[in-house]
Amino acid sequence: MDPTLSMYISQGIHGIAYGMILFLIASGLSIIFGMMGILNLAHAVFFMLGAYLCYAVVTLTGNFWLGLLIGPVLVAIVGIVMERVFLRYAKNVGHFGELILTMGIGSVIVAVIKMIWGTENKPLPVPEQLQGMVNLFGVSYPIYRLFVIGLSVAILIFMLLLLYRTRLGKIVRAAVSDRDMVNALGININLVFMFVFGIGTWMAGVAGVAIAPILTVFPGLSDQVGMDAFIVCVTGGLGSLPGAFIVSIVFGFLSSYGVQFVSQFAPVLMVIFMAIVLAIKPVGLFGTKG
């Protein structure tokens, strides 16, 4: 195969893989805002926490698959505790108060992580079953990155089925439109909120576990990916799952091809794209005026 075409294909798959990771983080953040109206600045920290908890499980058991299962569940439990103890009482302080509160909680979690695991990098090996390369469209590509894409697609399908094919999903979507009416029908809206927050943070935890063998585990992981995920949410429209998905893929391509062709401008390509979108549609591509 022509080397140039091979490079284009490889970078494109890299972009899809990174875009799907962004989607896992951004969709959780978007779902939480869409239903609960909470701007959770600690969301990226939950992503990082998932990576650290997976590292801890793998260190104890040597089993990556247990880490993939247990890590995100523990992250969801921490998220539910955060929502029950703090955020349920912060609904009347406005978005600025929520930002300060969630930023503070995120800082505490980061401090605890550093206290337990230190500040040095923690390499997490790719599981033996997913090591090596596979020939894809004439290009040798890491099996693990393809696994990340497949895992993200599976979770996307799961979320779509959950939201649009189950009674619970109907309740969640109804609460997004009119939470007071849902509450008046006798449905415990607080439990629904707890479930949504748990699912959102669980998705962030899965993303953290998935990316850990690629980037290694370190305290700056949340800063590296978290800002990109927040830009995805704003550009796609806060509360929009389709918007988060489409913009995540676009940003994945911008990051991958940007580093390859215009490396000096790559860090600002996403911001430029966001600025163009918001100049045309201030609520984001799929956002609606609330």
**What local confidence, expressed as pLDDT, does residue 54 receive?**
95
Tens of pLDDT, residues 83-139: 888 877 766 666 677 788 888 999 999 999 999 999 899 989 899 899 988 887 777
Higher pLDDT, 290 or 208: 208
Tokens 């798959």 belong to 13
CA separation for the pair 184, 150 (Å, rounded): 40
Going by pLDDT thresholds of 50, 70 and 90, the confidence category of residue 63 is very high
Q: What is the mean pLDDT of residues 256-285?
A: 84
**What local confidence, expressed as pLDDT, does residue 290 receive?**
54
Tokens 């953290």 belong to 208
**What local confidence, expressed as pLDDT, does residue 159 receive?**
83
Check whether 269 has a pLDDT greater than 60: yes
Q: What is the mean pLDDT of residues 264-282?
A: 86
CA separation for the pair 228, 245 (Å, rounded): 13
CA separation for the pair 254, 265 (Å, rounded): 10
Going by pLDDT thresholds of 50, 70 and 90, the confidence category of residue 57 is very high
Residue 19's SS3 state is helix
Check whether 32 has a pLDDT greater than 70: yes
Q: What is the mean pLDDT of residues 31-55?
A: 85
Tens of pLDDT, residues 211-235: 899 888 988 888 877 788 888 888 8
**What local confidence, expressed as pLDDT, does residue 88 receive?**
74
**What local confidence, expressed as pLDDT, does residue 205 receive?**
93
Check whether 265 has a pLDDT greater than 90: no
Say if pTM beats, i.e. exceeds, 0.75.
yes
CA separation for the pair 283, 288 (Å, rounded): 6
Q: Which of 160-164, 208-212, 245-249 has the lowest mean pLDDT?
A: 160-164
CB 237, CB 286: distance < 8 Å: yes
CB 273, CB 254: distance < 8 Å: yes
**Of all residues in the chain, what percent carry a pLDDT higher than 90?**
24
CB 234, CB 283: distance < 8 Å: no
